[in-house]
Amino acid sequence: MLNLNNIAKTYQTEKIETIALKNINLNINRGEFISIMGPSGCGKSTLLNIMGLLDEPSDGEVKVNGKSITSYHDKEMASLRNSKIGFIFQSFHLIQDLRVIDNVELPLLYRKISAKERRRLATAALERVGLKARTSHFPSQLSGGQQQRVAIARAIVGKPELLLADEPTGNLDSHMGNEIMQILESLHKDDKTTIVMVTHDDELAKRTERTIRVYDGQLIH
Amino acid sequence: MFSHIAKLIWNRKRSNVLIITEIVITFIVLFAIISATLHNYRLFNLPLGFNWENTWAIELNTGSRWNNETDKNQLKAIVEVLKQRPEIASVGLIRMGVFVNAHWRSSRPINGRESIYHSNMVDQDALKNWGVELVAGRWFGEQDNGQSYTEIVVNQLFVDEYLPDQDPVNFEFGDPEQPQILPMRIVGVFKDFRQQGEFSVPGPYMFTRYQIEEGHTYGVREINIKFKEPKTAAYEATLLKLLKSIAPNWEFNINSWEKRREQQIQNVVLPLGLAAVVVIFLLIMVAMGLFGVLWQNISRRTQEIGLRRAIGASERSIRLQIIGEILVLALFGISIAFIFLIQVPLLQLIELVSWSNFWFSLLASVSTILLIVILCALYPSRTAIKMSPAVALHYE
Ligand SMILES: Nc1ncnc2c1ncn2[C@@H]1O[C@H](COP(=O)(O)OP(=O)(O)OP(=O)(O)O)[C@@H](O)[C@H]1O
Ligand SMILES: [Mg+2]
């Protein structure tokens, strides 16, 4: 469902040019649960961002469901991000001024969905991550694990085909990390969601179907 | 989307109250200065009613008490001498001079209704010589001497206000409280004479005739001389010497109408200019306040924009959201200010604010505030919107 062909990414800062990724070829198939591992700074996040259409590659081609997105404009990209992809960040990125339920509804705001339906879907997503009782809290009133579960609810509320998680357990202790992992596993098993997860944790990586190793901006096999 | 914006505003109410307060204050001050400027601009463009060019006013200080013999003769002598000077086109006497802030309000019932007007006193030919336009009847003249009425001329506004359905010429009205005084008779109607200058509000105006011969105790205070050619300030000394030679015991203060007019314009324009500076300062404060409150946490805001784009908001919908947020705030502030401002014309708190002035000033203030507020909201977000979501999300 997602193909990366000859992807390269370089960051141009004032003086130096950082090569974050080079020569990446990768196919993600529907229904897979993949983990990405590698040392810090090797380009894992960069890779995930390109998969999630959050960043443009400097070179190469990204195909979503067989279609190259190179020529897509902002509106088409926004619509793809909104409908096909759910993203979970290491640092949650919840909007502090919005209640839990409103944070979860956020992606649906950019679709043509009635307010009532939005509320129904968001409540269901929160139920899925076991946070139904916290809908009217503000993020600051929740623990880190709870916040990450809100973020997961937000990522899955629009029923994306592809769920991308960048160190979703990185800021959590192992107990809470395990809870998050269980949610992801159930989304994979029960909902057939395709999941790509960046992790530093070998144990978590072992629980996925395939592990991709990145070293110095390249895939190693 | 609207309820989403409403939620955001409500949840950020603490900082938003500050913005709204700033908007309310700025809006009111902005409105005040726009309406004051508009009001004065309109007044300035109304006809003055007389020509002020090449005319000098000699203010008289005749000492403690008017002596009907010596002072009268002195005044007569001065007028005679001045009239004979080749450089002088005309000499006119007036009680309250032009472009000064002195006026005399008087009232008397006309057709059973109390009329209020400004009253002044000039000699027979002064108005004609100053270019005042006669629209009906005639100026005062010798034929009015010794009649059983006091001859007056009034301006068109006087007629419009108090004698709308009547031929004003030869209309007489007395003072019922003082039946021993002669009734007034309108012998002529002139277009206007805005004695207090271009920024004065036109209103009913009346002139009675001054005759040196009759020697009113409160007589005239000014001799106005119109020159054939423009005169420089150097002429003042010549003139003063001439006057002193006739009336050594009097004090004279000489001023050109032009200078008085300039002074008067300055008196209005200067405060308006200062107020404008204050408004600009306030507008900057609002802009800074908006920048401050919306962007005090620029990294948080940038991250929020990154997040919204990451989950599928287009650049356009983000701009709309930002504008929507600020518009709601601005309209809220404007509405509060409006509730205060509408009282002015409603209750006629300040006569100067007519309805048309009110609506125009309102429109102008609203557009200014909205423009500033939208620019202030959009400007800082433009880079955040153009960043890739990945970069915006990690903006520090
Ligand atoms: N916005 C940026 N500007 C410049 N260089 C960047 C930027 N983002 C990442 N890089 C560089 O690209 C390289 C890869 O970064 P990336 O964040 O993908 O690493 P990572 O594998 O996710 O590391 P970690 O495990 O610490 O999260 C690093 O050398 C990093 O310094
Ligand atoms: Mg990373």
Dump pLDDT digits (tens) for B143-164.
999 899 999 999 999 999 999 9
This prediction's pTM: 0.76
A110, B391: Cβ pair inside 8 Å?
Answer: no
Average model confidence (pLDDT) for chain B? 88
Measured from the CA of A38, which atom of ligand 1 is nearest?
Answer: 21
CA B43 to chain centre: 6
Range of the domain at A40: 2-220
Q: How many domains does chain A fold into?
A: 1
Asked if B203 contacts B157 with a C-beta cutoff of 8 angstroms, the reply is: yes
Residue A137, C-beta contacts closer than 8 angstroms, at least 6 positions apart: A99, A100
Same domain, B145 and B272: no
Q: Which of B304, B311, B314 sits opposite A74 (nearest CB)?
A: B314
Same domain, B211 and B276: no
**Domain at A61, CATH number:** 3.40.50.300
Same domain, B67 and B22: no
Same domain, B20 and B97: no
- Cα separation of the two ends of chain A: 21
Between B26 and B338, name the one with better pLDDT: B338
What is the mean pLDDT of the segment spanning B178-189? 92
Size of interface A-B (CB pairs under 8 A): 76
Q: What is the pLDDT of residue B216?
A: 63
- Is there an atom of ligand 1 within 6 Å of A52 CB? no
Nearest ligand to the CA of B390 is 1
Q: What is the pLDDT of residue B218?
A: 63
**Of the listed ranges A42-46, A88-92, B276-280, the one predicted with least confidence:** B276-280
Residue A129, C-beta contacts closer than 8 angstroms, at least 6 positions apart: A149, A150, A152, A153, A183
Range of the domain at B16: 2-45+263-393
- Closest by CA to A110, choosing from B301, B299, B307, B390, is B307
Q: Is residue B239 part of a domain?
A: no
| CA dist., res. A26 & res. A113, Å (int) | 34
Same domain, B91 and B207: yes
Same domain, B125 and B208: yes
| CA dist., res. B225 & res. B92, Å (int) | 6
- Is residue A78's pLDDT more than 60? yes
A81, B311: Cβ pair inside 8 Å?
Answer: yes
Q: How far from B167 is each of A27, B50, B162, B189, B384, CA to CA, in Å?
A: 100, 24, 11, 10, 74
pLDDT band at B263, cuts 50/70/90?
very high
Strand pairing category for A33-37 and A210-215: parallel
CA of A38 from ligand 1 middle (Å) equals 12
Same domain, B32 and B72: no
Same domain, B37 and B74: no
Q: Is residue B338 part of a domain?
A: yes
| CA dist., res. A106 & res. A92, Å (int) | 14
Which H/E stretch holds residue B103? Answer: none
- Closest by CA to A204, choosing from A189, A190, A185, is A185
Q: Which of A55, A106, A138 sits opposite B311 (nearest CB)?
A: A106
pLDDT band at B351, cuts 50/70/90?
low
To test the pocket of ligand 1, the residue of A10, A11, A196 to mutate (highest count of ligand atoms within 8 Å of its CB) is: A11
Same domain, B133 and B179: yes
**Of the listed ranges B185-194, B201-210, B386-395, the one predicted with least confidence:** B386-395
Name residue A63's beta-bridge partners: A3, A68
Name residue A3's beta-bridge partners: A27, A63
What is the mean pLDDT of the segment spanning A172-188? 90
- Is there an atom of ligand 1 within 6 Å of A134 CB? no
What is the mean pLDDT of the segment spanning B57-71? 81
Q: How many domains does chain B fold into?
A: 2
Same domain, B147 and B280: no
Residues with CB under 5 A from ligand 2 (ion): A 45
